[in-house]
A and B are shown apart, each in its own frame.
Chain A
Amino acid sequence: GQNIDQPTEMTATEGAIVQINCTYQTSGFNGLFWYQQHAGEAPTFLSYNVLDGLEEKGRFSSFLSRSKGYSYLLLKELQMKDSASYLCAALDSNYQLIWGAGTKLIIKP
């Protein structure tokens, strides 16, 4: 079966760095997405990786290892507004997105 695993909840301190991990098992693979979702709001796109390596976008970076079925989202210089759920989703061979349950990130002052 197809599966995405990510931690349910993480806590970090304002100004610090946090890494949110995601492992995936899909039938075929056409890329991995990270979305941010604030409570009561819609998911919004953060990043897309299809090749191995690190993609950096300001304070957020995303890493992919296709051989290991593994990705992480790295958030630097954490701000209170980064408190949200972070959703990992893999695009399978049929170009359907398989979603993880999300990681709720709590930022403490």
Chain B
Amino acid sequence: IAGITQAPTSQILAAGRRMTLRCTQDMRHNAMYWYRQDLGLGLRLIHYSNTAGTTGKGEVPDGYSVSRANTDDFPLTLASAVPSQTSVYFCASSDSVAGGTDTQYFGPGTRLTVL
């Protein structure tokens, strides 16, 4: 069982280019999340999805979009990348959103540099 996979591992991107970060989980979790992690700051939620077919905005959604066509995949798209989007991006999943321990399990991350 792989858990959560992310691709690519790292990417250097020219400003203005479009980029999709991929995330796939094989745990059949309902909820999935995208975070960015920047030095000196906590993980910040970009978008989330409580179940296939639904998405919601997190703390820092501007410049990003997501889709959730099925349970396993949750891609994050940067329509026109800007240097401030340079960050490490983590995808996570949890079995449910409300109730219980709601532990989130994280993918290995994508290190994105926008020049």
Contact = CB atoms under 8 A, between A and B. Distances in A.
Interface residues of B, number: 20
Contacts of B43: 43, 87, 89, 97, 99
B106 A99 contact: no
Interface in A63-108: 87, 89, 91, 95-102
Contacts of A42: 90, 106-109
A48 interface: yes
Nearest to B43: A99
Contacts of A101: 40-42
Interface residues of A, number: 21
A31 B101 CA distance: 8
A4 B101 contact: no
Dominant SS at the B interface?
loop
Interface string B18-48: 0000000000000000000000111111001
Interface string B92-115: 000001100111111111000000
Contact of B42 (A41, A45, A102): A102
B45 A96 contact: yes
Contacts of B45: 96-97
Contacts of A41: 108-109
The CB with the most chain A CB atoms within 10 A, among B44, B90, B106, is that of B106
A44 interface: yes
Given A31-B101, A95-B97, A96-B58, A44 B44 contact: no
Interface of A: 4, 30-31, 33, 41-45, 48, 87, 89, 91, 95-102
Given A30-B102, A101-B41, 4 more contacts: A45-B105, A87-B42, A95-B97, A95-B98
A-B complex: 8 closest residue pairs judged by Cβ atoms: A99-B42, A42-B106, A99-B43, A48-B101, A101-B42, A45-B103, A95-B98, A43-B106
